A and B are shown apart, each in its own frame.
Chain A
Amino acid sequence: MNFTATQLEAIDTSRKHLDACVTAGPGSGKTTVLVQYFRRLVEGGAHPQQILAITFTEKAAANMRQKLAEAFREDDSVRAALERAWVSTVHGFCARLLRENAVFAGVDPDFYVADERESWRRQQESIAEAVSELFREHPEAVRALIRGLASHEFESLLVSAYDAIRGAGMTVQSVAAMGPPANTARAELAETLRELQADPLSGCNPAQRHHVRTICEDLERIANAAGPLEALQAIESYSGNAAQVKSGTAARQLVKGVRDLLDHLRYTFLTALYQQERETLFEILRRFDRVYRERKSRLGALDFADLEEYAVRLLEENAEIRADVQRQFEHVLMDEFQDTNGQQARLLELVRRTDRFYAVGDVNQSIYGFRHAEPEVFREYRATVEQRGRRLVDLQENFRSRPEILRAVETLVGHAEGIESRPLIAGKVFEKARPVTVELIGVVGEDAGAGLENEARWVAHRILELIAEDPLFRFRGIAVLVRNTEVIPQFTAAFEEAGIPYVVNRGRGFFEAREVKDLYHLLRVIANPRDEVSLAAVLRSPLVQVSDEALFALRMHGGNLADALLALDAAVADLSADDHQKLLHFRDCLHGWRIRRESVSFDRLLLAAIDDCGYQCGSWTNIEKFLAQAREAAERMPLDDFVELIARLRDDNIREPEAPPEDTTDAVNIMTVHSAKGLEFPVVFVAALHKGTKNEASSLAFSRNFGLGARWRNPATGEDKSDLFAHAIHEERKRRENEESHRLLYVAMTRAEQHLVLSFSGKGKKLDHWAKIVASHVPDLDLTAARDEVLTLESPRGEEWKLRVLITSEPPERLPQPKIIEETGAVEWLAPLAFSEQQDANATVTAISAFAKCPREYYLGQYLRFEGRQPKGIGDQGSGLGKAAAARQTPADEFGSQVHALLAGQAVTDCDPSAAAMAETFRQSPLGRRAARASHAEREFAFVMAVEGLVLRGQIDLWFEEGGETVIVDYKTDAVTAVEAHQRAGEYAIQLRLYALALERMTGRAPDRAWLYFLRPNTAIKVDLTPSLLDSPEQVVREFQEAQAKLDFPLREGPHCKRCPFFRDLCPSQYAM
């Protein structure tokens, strides 16, 4: 790899023990530099674990890890060490640090990081609880706050302020302690008043003098007001008018300034007036902080801000750990340093040792002010590095864009406020020249709305032309960048009209995507089909696709739509066959999904629905994202809660980005400039330059410098007005946003490699926002006449570049739709194979026997293990839970086991006397005596054998050899009479035949006799062991397996139904006793 001189300087490790600050302009190869630096450090002997490399995004971290892995592909030991290397985002770093030091950090060692959605939900719950709690305790204070605060919906604003406070590394307490910003309004008032009063008013006429006197009186009233409320009222009664004071006089000048002064006084007095309410706000914040923390800790969750806060706290409080960490990290590398917030900056200070820090950044690309990034941190660090004579490297070469594009950037925004003017030096050699690489399209007309639509059409038009012009350009290499998502629909509409495939990266929001709504409503219907809006939405969706007529017909059926669907039969008048069939199909499917609703995860329900309904949709990636959310939610919450959660997210308009498309999609990217940061495209359109963002003064705002500010209701006017804090914050924000807006344009334009198109639309000559900035640098730009020409401009560094200017008020002519080449490969449709052998691999002999008696009873009782009719317990009136069970004598199965154990000669503790008696009965019986005499006897003889591939486990109660015969005995403790015993014996025949088979296989000799011994009536019944063809053990096992495989368990009705716990309940048997 060929490095430039400055790049070599940047990756020079001979000065690795000096703090370094690398300014890396756009396209200057900063990732390569970082990776190379890392690599050289390792090659120079540093262990990968001694290097901490922090990137701004996960994507960048992944990219870096990948490049490092490639760099050390040949070196197994380094490659393995890289697995545990500290290359991650700040959050990743904090999480690992905290996990390894959880106890000292005071965090749950098994903590998980709550994602933004979850954090949002907990914050909502916590703020509601905090305010409710305070309201319960101090209703008057909250009432006063509600009455005073400009905003009705202050909770979400408070939560944002809270986030900002934490991002700045501050606490609610420290913010509450901040005094108002310096304010001289009162002093100025006194001064103005003094000067006016002292003014001789020479040359003024009496009316003018009178007016000034009135003004003085008014001002005096303000200055001497008894309290802030009176002062505010006095301000509103101020009647001065500079026009009525003689022009050119000092008095006029003074009076002119009074309006501004009064405004400042309003801020001042409102601050004083609402001091108490302001304290209430802090009280809410404190409580919110507590509640929110408690909730998280109960769950073992940390949010992103916690990660930073606790990591800072860990290092601040534990000198030893701090020293260890600093010792461990021989080198700290930080990417995008300009984007760190206050908290992160603090963290880095704690982690790094002097002269071990290597920061890369570019103030010109700092666009994350809304996320509390503080580019000053970078500037200060750079200044310190410079002062201390450490390493300063400036990477000015740009290896991304054509030189003309760079000149355009320099010319159009290079000197704007907030941009450090640094040259952009083209470093990449392009094979083919392009005649014009920068364009400006302006659509100017009477109607701004139509203008934007036409602008979008022009963009579409140019995309098609560019694609046609250069075979290297693909749709996927084109990005349309906008500042404000509001304009996206116009572009998507134009692209659809022109047949251009596109992908919206951060469009209208995930939860409003059609396919997500379809699935969401389906889940709602599964949760409760009585929700008619959801049911109708599903019925009309591609899941069912019924006609409006069918909906109407259902409704006319009366009652709830869901009831009508249930009652649907062939007789619904006026329902087309098609609709009818669709509804019936859906109804059956719905039943299937509903009975599974709590047993399978929601994503499985949805997938089943997608396949059951042949659902076709727009974006499968969105569906997958929703499925992933559903899958994950199913681990934690019931269906009802999940649909409720999504409903809330939708209600609160939570912006959730849509799923990123798969890489292979050949489509134009439409995205915001913010999401394009770090990306590059051959062709970039920066569109809707005229569109800014709304910067209304928020009712509650926070700034690191001024604390928390609010807008309050001015009781004197009923209008809303900032307090001193809010006013200062607003001014600061205006400044910052203005600067950041320029940097945003800078970032947008520098994404382009080969071709850059800037476009705007507007009404008349007046341009706004970026359009204004751009236009101001194009000399003699005439917007009144249509034109298409190429201008030659000169960059600040004196280099010429060409700009094609197209001004029009008309839409472009329509071009033929492009042919789209499917690259992803067509979908392969896979037909499911037929199931086979879904039977169990093994069974017990008793199961086979039960099956032989009645397949259905076996199915319900042993296969599904339904409990059947209960021995009365809970439902038993007055018996109380378990009382019956506890009071009963030895339960039947326990009793049986005791008898069997006794007969096997085992000791039984707490033996039921009747069990002992029963055992004795057998011992005294002829069979019992024979067994006692036997030459060989086995009791409780367990075995494993396979019959027809089915592995059977069984246990023979007793077998013995006596008198040259092998005899099998099976005891039964059933409560039956002797007559009944004979009736039942047949039910057990198969069991004994299986025992005989096992014995035969084991001993090589077939048993001669088998007896069932019914202990209660003391009756022995001989069982015929000669298998008939129909119910040979093999045949029964085959039937058993087939029944399982097909899940077909017929009823075998008979007198045993009476004993069946499912009779007349789960079993449909109609057997008449």
Chain B
Amino acid sequence: MRLITGPPGSGKTAHILECFRQALRAGNSAVRLLLPTATLARHLENEIAREGLVFRPGLIQTLNGFVEELVAEFPQAPETVVHLLVEEAVARANRPEFRRVAHLPGFCVRLARTLLEFYAAGCDSGRLAACLPETPLAAGFLAVYQEVDRALGRRGLLPRAKRIERAAARIDRDGAKGVRTVWLDGFHALPDPELAVIQALGRCTDLTLTLPDYQATTPLRSRLLSSGFDEERFVRKRPSPAMLLMKAPRIEREVEEIARRIVEQAAAGRPWREIGIIVRAAGAYVPLLRATLERFAIPAHFYFETSAARHPAIRFLTGAIDAMLAGWDHCATLAVLRLAPRFADSPALDALDFAVREQIPNAGLESFQALLPAAEGDIRRLIEDLGALEELRSLELTPGEWAIRWRTLRSLYQPPRDASLDHEMALIWRGHAEALDEFEKVLAAAALALDAERPVALENFWRAVKSVLRLQPLRSHDARRDVVHVLSAPEARQWVLPVVFVCGMVEKQFPQFHTADPFFPDAARRRLQAAGIRVRTAADFEQEEQELFESAISRATMLVTLSYPEFTARGESNLPSLFLDARLRPQSSRLVRPVARHIPAPVPPAVISGSGLLELLRKKTGTLSVSALESWLQCPFRYFGGNLMRLREAPPRPEDRLDFSLQGQIVHDVLAQWHRDPQQDIAALFEGVFAAFCEAKHVPQGYHTERLGNAMLDDLERFATDSQWQRAGFTSRAEEKFVFPLDDSLGISGRIDRLDTDAQGLSYVIDYKYSAVDQVRKKRNSNQLQGPLYFLAAESEFGVKPAGMFFVALKRGVEYIGWSDTGLLESDPIPCEWANTAERVAQIASQIRQGAFAPAPADRKACSYCDSRDICRIEVSESQGVGAIQP
């Protein structure tokens, strides 16, 4: 057994590869080159094939793969299954010390993680029991561990480490399947089970193992040497790469600067594949790198796992089952359809979406389908296919049968018909197929975790699937050759590239901060180590970080650029990593953006000038409502958006359906009916109207509705008993609609809430405002049009002599605010400007018809209530964030 040690770049791998090549050239296939990861194995295989050699694929493989061939008959327990078993074990063990936390989602995850660490270190529950350290949670942990061990035994499953141990035993017994020479390269840490296999191989083959010189690998080296390895030391050959440090104000700038430097390299002729980015803090960097590299059109392969459960294809499948289990809740069902790629840009689905939202909460597939126009065959078919799932609900099948049945689910996930894709979309689609494969694995794992013989109901199997899925990672197999490699620091250990970036060199990110294990704190771990169980301590973690860093900066053959952001997103300063050499002077980042793919034309003038459109505008404004005119007075753009264009928003949320406008409608409706017969009980009347409106508008019942209803009723009752207006002295007509011609080209429309006429024939226009008094008082400026136009309508349409006009504020108090010549209710005299109303309105109409609608609010405060406030781009309140000077 030969151990080759040496610093990075000393030619260890090159030596091994040369030996391997020679064996191939000699037609020797009794050799194996064993590596720690599949990516690396694939990478070397490709390299060697490109050199022109043809060989059998199994000759380069992972240590795991090699073991797999030896112990294929012992099924391995996937980590997700172990996790599921931990959940069950925790429940069964029911330990008092865990009672408060057992139900929390992260507890079992954490426990499973620690447990897997023990397994990996070759320590099962029996071995742990023999040297259990004295720490408060150890006994509880052990109890769960024993349960899990038993559960695995019952299912005939072996944890990975156990299988490796078996493989070692088998090699000792039967030899290495005819393999005579073994090289192992790229290993940094060798847990006990792996070490056992290597030693077994060493006994029956000619074995060479390489180990890089890092502080962290020193203990392993000593172990290897003491177990019979002969050491050969390689000295450094490769020259050190140039090293740069770069700082940027923020993480976004940092990543953009990396992109800039990559583009610079590529522009100078370097293939993308010769560039790597090493990331330690994946959570912070990976999504941002994805976005940024994509933005700068840099093709990149991310060697990172994502969560399978978050993949859209899997969300679609799980969403479908969940929706079914929820009785086809409309929201959930809609969410599933939204994930169907075939309808990602479907106007029909958009329309269905709004139709559904207008009625939620709701459930049931039939009522859901009823909202879909008949012509939408494709969507209907998918809904029907989903409906077919219903048949499963009554079944009881064995887990294996369930897994087979669910496998065909993937056919529901139909690709879009238009398959002309760009590289990004193609990559996405290839990812979908991988995700669907992964889903099948999840089904198989869930089946493994359950009792194979016992039929279970759908819900039970489904629960197991979801539990497995929660932790199931997904790895993209981007096979493109010429891409920048974005790697985690551990993954990068086996790579060598000309140009490497190491980002996120700040405190707590690199080195990463490891919190203590809640079950076995550091002291306990040290005791376990002393007992021969190699679980990691804080010192090990720290050493590992150091090793990762040393490894990261030695990955480049030419240039390594370290970088860090000076500030956090909240503007707080970051502390540069302690690994950074204080002598390195940081370069500053530059401000860089990709050239836009489209240069927008200058902003057009805000006037409608096309003759055809002006003609249409004239037609549309042949009749103007009083409220439209008032809206124009407040702001031409408000009129444009709200009255002329009548732009519709997305349907409101159920709890917002009873909004001010609907409340106003209800109050008006009640008052109109009540005035026809003021003797009737307004409360009873209100209840009826309110209920009818709520039903028609799908206003959900609940305290919120109750509360608003209460308030409205209070207001109505207050009004009904209010005696300011002597109703007995008038005859009333309510809710009178009118349209009258103002001149040849303009009609005015509106609706008078109430028209009261006294014995002398004097009429008063009453307009209810379901708003608070303060708001209504604002109407008292003579600029308004409603009063005079109602006057005109009263005269011309209802043949009465108007003597006054009152707004009645109804909310939380009754107040009459208005004008009259009779001085009724402390009213103001009728303004003389009212006499010119016809001309004013004609003038406004002509302005409207000129087609200029630039925003110009008369009252800026009213902008906050304007539905067009986000369209008009007027600054409603405070001004712009960073005050770039406005030209």
Contact = CB atoms under 8 A, between A and B. Distances in A.
Contacts of A537: 870-871
A102 B339 CA distance: 37
B374 interface: no
A496 interface: yes
Interface stretch (B492-500, B595-603, B744-752): B595-603
Report which residue of A514, A664, A665, A839 has the largest number of chain B beta carbons within 10 angstroms of its beta carbon: A514
B650 A524 contact: yes
B305 interface: no
Contacts of A561: 647
B526 to A, nearest CB: 16
B610 A875 contact: no
A489 B596 contact: no
B309 to A, nearest CB: 11
A842 interface: yes
A1003 B649 CA distance: 72
Nearest to A952: B49
B219 to A, nearest CB: 19
A642 to B, nearest CB: 12
Interface string B606-647: 111111110011000000000000000000000011001101
Nearest to B519: A103
Interface string A522-565: 00100011111110110011101111111111011000111100
Given A101-B518, A595-B425, A832 B595 contact: yes
Contacts of B655: 128
A836 B870 CA distance: 43
Interface string B489-523: 00000000000000000011001010110110100
B453 interface: no
Contact of A541 (B542, B616, B702, B873): B873
A946 B312 contact: no
Nearest to A586: B598
B354 A829 contact: no
B102 to A, nearest CB: 10
B571 A660 contact: yes
Nearest to B567: A663
B241 interface: no
Nearest to A859: B419
Nearest to A299: B105
Contacts of A69: 507, 575, 578
A663 B870 contact: no
B879 A880 contact: no
B354 A611 contact: no
B649 A874 contact: no
Interface residues of B, number: 182
Contacts of A492: 878-880, 883
A600 B572 contact: no
Contact of B401 (A590, A827, A886): A886
Report which residue of A69, A143, A512, A826 has the largest number of chain B beta carbons within 10 angstroms of its beta carbon: A512
B351 A530 contact: yes
Contact of A514 (B645, B653, B873): B873
Interface in B866-887: 867-868, 870-873, 875-886
A840 B415 contact: no
Contacts of B656: 651
A566 B347 CA distance: 9
A284 B808 CA distance: 37
Contact of B344 (A585, A598, A830, A835): A598
B178 interface: no
Contacts of A533: 641, 647-649, 867-868, 870-871
B535 to A, nearest CB: 17
B347 A562 contact: yes
B507 A110 contact: no
A27 to B, nearest CB: 20
A828 B591 contact: yes
A710 B144 CA distance: 51
Interface in A601-618: 601, 603-604, 607-608, 610-616, 618
Contacts of B480: 837-841
Contacts of A1008: none
Contacts of B177: none
Contact of B104 (A297, A828, A859): A297
B569 A109 contact: no
Interface string B705-747: 0111011000000000000000000000000000000000000
A298 B294 CA distance: 35
Interface stretch (A59-67, A397-405, A797-805): A59-67
Contact of B878 (A485, A547, A608, A841): A485
Contacts of B876: 508, 512
B430 interface: yes
Contacts of B641: 533, 536
B569 A111 contact: no
Contacts, number: 533
Nearest to A496: B886
Nearest to A868: B415
B106 A546 contact: no
A873 B867 contact: no
Given A496-B885, A837-B481, A529 B350 contact: yes
Contact of A504 (B287, B568, B867, B879): B879
A621 B411 CA distance: 44
Interface in B376-432: 381, 384-385, 388-389, 391-392, 401, 404-412, 415-417, 419, 421-426, 428-432
Given A830-B263, A949-B50, A874 B481 contact: no
Report which residue of B106, B384, B596, B871 has the largest number of chain A beta carbons within 10 angstroms of its beta carbon: B871
A568 interface: no
Given A66-B573, A574-B612, A942-B57, A874 B607 contact: no
B345 A591 contact: yes
B381 A108 contact: no
A553 to B, nearest CB: 6
Interface in B564-584: 566-575, 578, 582
A663 B572 CA distance: 11
B264 to A, nearest CB: 9
B883 A667 contact: yes
Contact of B600 (A83, A550, A575, A614): A614
A502 B883 contact: yes
Report which residue of A547, A611, A644 has the largest number of chain B beta carbons within 10 angstroms of its beta carbon: A611
Contacts of A108: 101, 104-107
B317 to A, nearest CB: 11
A33 B654 CA distance: 57
A96 interface: yes
Contacts of B354: 528, 530
Interface stretch (A440-448, A622-630, A900-908): A622-630
B578 A80 contact: yes
Report which residue of A82, A532, A635, A860 has the largest number of chain B beta carbons within 10 angstroms of its beta carbon: A532
A109 B573 CA distance: 28
Nearest to B252: A624
A549 B851 contact: yes
Contact of A611 (B250, B295, B315, B711): B295
Nearest to A515: B881
Contacts of A427: none
A621 B884 CA distance: 12
Given A111-B106, A492-B879, A508-B878, A885 B591 contact: no
27 contacts: A80-B578, A83-B511, A104-B136, A110-B110, A142-B703, A143-B706, A503-B881, A514-B875, A524-B650, A529-B350, A532-B645, A532-B647, A547-B605, A578-B601, A595-B344, A598-B344, A615-B596, A638-B339, A663-B249, A826-B591, A833-B266, A837-B482, A840-B480, A885-B407, A942-B58, A945-B54, A951-B50
* Closest 5 A/B residue pairs (Cβ): A110-B106, A508-B878, A832-B297, A574-B610, A882-B405
Given A66-B575, A109-B101, 20 more contacts: A102-B101, A103-B100, A111-B106, A496-B879, A501-B883, A529-B350, A532-B649, A545-B603, A547-B605, A549-B610, A573-B612, A604-B291, A608-B294, A842-B479, A865-B433, A866-B419, A881-B409, A946-B52, A1001-B54, A1047-B423
